[in-house]
Amino acid sequence: MPPKLLTHLLLALVAVSGAAAARRHPAPANFTASGNPVYIWPLPKNFTSGTQTLAVDPDLALDPQGAGAGAAAVAEAFERYRHLIFSPWAHAARPASAGYDVARLTVVVASADETLELGVDESYTIYIAAAGGANSIVGGATIEANTIYGAIRGLETFSQLCVFNYDTKNVEVRYAPWYIQDEPRFAFRGLMLDTSRHYLPVDVIKQVIDSMSFSKLNVLHWHIIDEQSFPLEIPSYPNLWKGSYSKSERYTVEDARYIVSYAKKRGIHVMAEIDVPGHAESWGNGYPKLWPSVSCTEPLDVSSNFTFEVITGILSDMRRIFPFGLFHLGGDEVYTGCWNLTPHVKQWLDEHNMTTKDAYKYFVLKAQEIAIDLNWIPVNWEETFNSFGGSLNPRTVVHNWLGPGVCPKVVAKGLRCIMSNQGVWYLDHLDVPWEEVYTAEPLAGINDSAQQKLVLGGEVCMWGETADTSDVQQTIWPRAAAAAERMWSQLEAISAQDLETTVLARLHYFRCLLNHRGIAAAPVTNFYARRPPIGPGSCFVQ
């Protein structure tokens, strides 16, 4: 029997047996068949469980099957997760006569296509059972996915099912047999990282990417540059990074490519941003001609061809680094008053019969044209839509941030939207509790199914004015995980849960998991995010 057909048969058998068990012992969507909480974050779409405990072999072997399972990314992901699951001494402690229920992890990947693009198939199924059970043909664990990225998501879920037993010193899968069928609710599940207000070393960005993969976030929005610093090397205009804080707080082209590659191996896109025409004062440190004048250092000079030559050079260089189909062009908080006060810009405005508001639109649309010519889909902050939404390129993705009610207006006009309402999903707002992060809904106010499809998803934003290497992870986590479940899991399942009695216990558990994996996630129930514990206690109840 072909391996894929065998897998389908196994999955069908466990689904039938699990469904029968569920009929006999109905349980809420976030509990196992035996009534215990399902400590998987984010909550899978469909699953059934049992009452068995299975021992997992510390010599767990990967059995790759299917056209894509031989990809290096699958083998590397398996090794990463095996390292997370097992203690370093697990192999040495393995008794020679030990018998294990799960000695092999079969990973079946249908497609060999490793292209990572928005909407890539991240679905997967998992089957875990012991040999000799009433409904099992062979023992072990199987992950089946259409793409390597679905397989990577499945490996994360499998790792969360594996729990170390300190009494037996075995890794166990409890409440087996398991059948899980899972896929994300939204294609875009983002975290914005700001490296312009404080420089973050490459190793810190890698840690953020790792932690994103643990909660199945899949877009790192890299806000690289802002008015305070320009840390990225741009070969076409090498003086731009004179706007960095110092020579040791910079990213080379090679650094950026490495970050993109590192993220791709974890199924994470990198969406870069240059924010124009505002938030760009740092550009003029290397090229003062980009400033309208020494007393008007932003917005960039709309009247100068050189401004758009530099933007073209930046985007052309960045296109060779960032393959993701979306590129963020900013466009927020553009205070145009000094354009009117700068003689040569004022003259240009008069010659073109433009107000400063007209010039703002002209700048944004011209930047969009440059990005589109480079085969990018432009993303702009919502002020562009609020100011001249009818003039934006139809391909534009509008990024909400100012408050609620924006995405309904955007999709009603046929444009796409990303939700980041600052009242709930700005992580630098330290007084926003996890409950408000969790219950924020990207589709709020949108009832038409066609319009709902125009909401790509959402993004939590880690603005960096008050965050650097010392506190960035505990500011991101665990609240970002609350948004991650909102964007991954099915609305019906997560909306039906009681926050205090069902969600909170699982979020405590996931925060502890992050801590065990070396991620400095703060206590869940802080009055003020990133506050340390106030006294002794378990990470499960902080």
Catalytic residues: 333
Burial 301-333, CB ≥16 within 10 A → b, else e: bbbbeebbebbbbbbebbbebbebebbbbbbee
Half-sphere exposure (Cβ direction) of 86: Cα atoms closer than 13 Å: 20
Could you give the strand order of the β-sheet that contains 124-129, starting from the edge strand earlier in sequence? 46-48, 178-182, 124-129, 140-145, 102-109, 52-65, 170-176, 162-165
Half-sphere exposure (Cβ direction) of 535: Cα atoms closer than 13 Å: 0
Please choose, from the candidates 7, 14, 105, the residue with its C-alpha nearest in 3D space to the C-alpha of residue 56. 105
Q: What is the CA radius of gyration of the chain?
A: 25
Half-sphere exposure (Cβ direction) of 343: Cα atoms closer than 13 Å: 0
**CA 185, 186, 188: angle at the middle one, nearest 5?**
155
Q: Which residues pair with 327 in a beta bridge?
A: 378
Cis before 177 (ω within 30): yes
Residue 222 token pair: 């890299």
Please choose, from the candidates 525, 524, 502, the residue with its C-alpha nearest in 3D space to the C-alpha of residue 40. 502
Q: What does the alpha-carbon distance between residue 415 and residue 397 come to, in Å, rounded to a whole number? A: 6
Burial 247-259, CB ≥16 within 10 A → b, else e: eeebbeeebbeeb
